Amino acid sequence: PGRVVTLLEDCGACTWGVAYEVRGEQVAASLQYLNVREAVLGGYDTKFVEFHPQEKDAEEPILALVYIATPQNPSYLGPASEEDIAAQIIVSSGCAGHNIEYLLRLADFMRYFCPQAEDKHLFSIEEALISILPCLYYTEESLEET
């Protein structure tokens, strides 16, 4: 358990990311897996949205499936300050790994693949996490040396 990227319904908002195309026999298996992971276990609502590819040859938006969090979701932690979110991330891990790695990889992904997206919330959480981390690694010996 921990913090994950969570989409909230907001008609005027824009979300940057990657869309994956699934074809043929993989469609049914992928949808079944995602439905269990995101809707049944995760408590998210399933929605279709328009996805606008960055490729210059993409003429029209693509219909994409997303999972939206609702406040009724029992796992939904709700809004919090960037510092509180960073503190939750630092102490959280699950079967997919530690939340610290998840956040840092997400921030790196956004910088590399979506440099035009200015996700101040994400980068503020990353900054708060990085400022907290050194405090966790002090030992009595290192404190005596200072």
Q: Which of 70, 65, 64 is nearest to 6 (CA)?
A: 70
Enzyme catalytic residues: 38
Q: Which bin fits 78, alpha (ψ -120 to 50), beta or left (φ > 0)? A: left
Main-chain dihedrals φ then ψ at residue 130, nearest 5 degrees: -65, -35
